[in-house]
């Protein structure tokens, strides 16, 4: 077996100052200028000398067999650490290098958490956060901030889904054409598309979840020595009733609204059953079919939620219920208004 020589990177002489070693790049023939600083950094694990034209990096070292300076590009450099190694371009000696199996790692004992940052542009939220910062101890602020951040994430996610659903035009999957061989050129969006269901589920689940996170945020301000698992929107207001500054009445008032009860039922059906939608067609402009050229007529879909989400699908009437887009806009606005109403009343 041929003798293998271990390559050891050797920095340029310090006495030469910023010594320049020049050589042509084998890929683009650009002149590569190597400095002693880069070579020193390379010997400590830094990046090699770069060709400014083709962005190739090179390592320079002296061959242990023939003593000549050799330059390997970044891909060839990796072959030196492979089991087969690589040949010296001058004397063809078999060369290899060892890869370091350890290096110092950056370590930290700091635990990072979200800060008390607003998720709306409302002055009400800004003033609420200022009260928390003035009146609450640093450790309490950290606990509150984690819950406040969770509320904001869910509300912003719900808003993104809402804007997507309202921006798009959703068509009935049925279309008419005056030519049996005519095919639509563009794919139309229907309420049965993945994107539609994904955004609708995301909107409803995030909006309802934001209210659970609000309960956690309120509890983190008014109560101590509690477990998160003990807090849920359905019953947490009872735990606040002994606090003189309790905002339990505001929470209970919202929970009694038809809007919240419908959202709660809808979320439950989504979690355990299906998305309860009724999709129907609007009017078709059949007069557009009276043409010589092939014409396809589409209808914007009418999308409705059932009056009672708990109804079985076979019992749903085809033309009665709640318009989906009306529900989305009104429910988001009501939930955001409720959250801001809570923030306005909170006194840490």
pLDDT in tens, 75-124: 888 888 888 888 888 898 899 888 766 556 656 666 678 889 999 999 99
**Pairing assessment for the beta strands 171-177 and 296-305 based on DSSP bridges:** antiparallel
The closest alpha carbon to 307, from 261, 262, 242, belongs to: 262
- How many residues are present in the chain? 348
pLDDT in tens, 164-223: 999 998 988 877 777 776 665 567 888 989 999 999 999 999 999 999 999 999 988 887
- Spatial distance between the Cα atoms of 275 and 200, rounded to a whole number of angstroms: 9
The closest alpha carbon to 331, from 271, 280, 275, 257, belongs to: 257
SS3 assignment for 149-187: HHHHHHHHHHHHHHHHHHHCCCEEEEEEECCCCCCCCCC
Helix axes 324-345, 138-167, angle to 10 degrees: 160
Helices (H) and strands (E) in the chain, counts: 9, 12
Domains of the chain, by residue range, sit at 4-96, 123-345
pLDDT in tens, 141-175: 999 999 999 999 999 999 999 999 999 989 888 77
Q: How far apart are the two ends of the chain, measured CA to CA in Å? A: 79
Residue 304 belongs to what H/E stretch? Answer: strand 296-305
- Note whether 85 and 79 are within 8 A (CB): yes
pLDDT in tens, 25-84: 989 999 988 888 888 888 777 888 999 899 899 988 888 888 888 888 988 888 888 888
Beta bridge partner(s), residue 70:
61
| 67 torsion bin: left (phi>0), alpha (psi -120 to 50), beta (else) | left
pLDDT in tens, 278-290: 887 777 767 767 7
């Amino acid at each position: 077996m041929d003798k293998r020589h271990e390559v050891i990177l050797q920095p340029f002489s310090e006495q030469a100052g910023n010594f320049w070693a020049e050589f042509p790049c084998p890929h683009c023939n650009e002149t590569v200028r190597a400095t002693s600083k880069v070579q020193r950094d390379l010997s400590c694990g830094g990046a090699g000398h770069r060709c400014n034209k083709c962005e190739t990096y090179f390592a320079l070292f002296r061959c242990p067999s023939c003593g000549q300076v050799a330059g390997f590009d970044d891909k060839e450099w990796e072959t030196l650490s492979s089991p087969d190694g690589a040949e010296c371009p001058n004397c063809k000696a078999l060369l290899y290098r060892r890869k370091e199996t350890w290096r110092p790692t950056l370590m930290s004992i700091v635990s990072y958490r979200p800060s008390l940052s607003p998720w709306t542009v409302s002055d009400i939220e800004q003033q609420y956060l200022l009260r928390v910062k003035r009146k609450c101890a640093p450790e309490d602020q950290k606990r509150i901030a984690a819950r406040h951040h969770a509320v904001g994430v869910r509300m912003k996610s719900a808003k993104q889904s809402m804007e997507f659903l309202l921006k798009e035009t959703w068509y009935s999957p049925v279309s008419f054409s005056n030519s049996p061989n005519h095919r639509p050129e563009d794919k139309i969006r229907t309420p049965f598309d993945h994107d539609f269901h994904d955004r609708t589920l995301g909107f409803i689940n995030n909006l309802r979840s934001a209210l659970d996170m609000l309960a956690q945020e309120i509890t983190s301000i008014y109560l101590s020595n509690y477990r998160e698992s003990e807090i849920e929107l359905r019953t947490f207001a009872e735990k606040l009733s002994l606090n003189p500054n309790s905002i339990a009445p505001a929470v209970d008032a919202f929970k009694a609204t038809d809007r919240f009860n419908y959202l709660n039922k809808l979320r439950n059906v989504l979690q355990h059953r299906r998305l309860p939608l009724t999709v129907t067609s609007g009017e078709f402009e059949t007069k557009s079919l009276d043409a010589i050229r092939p014409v396809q007529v589409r209808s914007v879909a009418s999308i409705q939620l059932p009056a009672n989400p708990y109804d079985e699908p076979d019992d749903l009437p085809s033309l009665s219920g709640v318009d989906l887009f009306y529900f989305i806009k009104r429910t988001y606005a009501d939930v955001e208004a409720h959250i801001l109403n809570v923030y306005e009343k909170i006194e840490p």
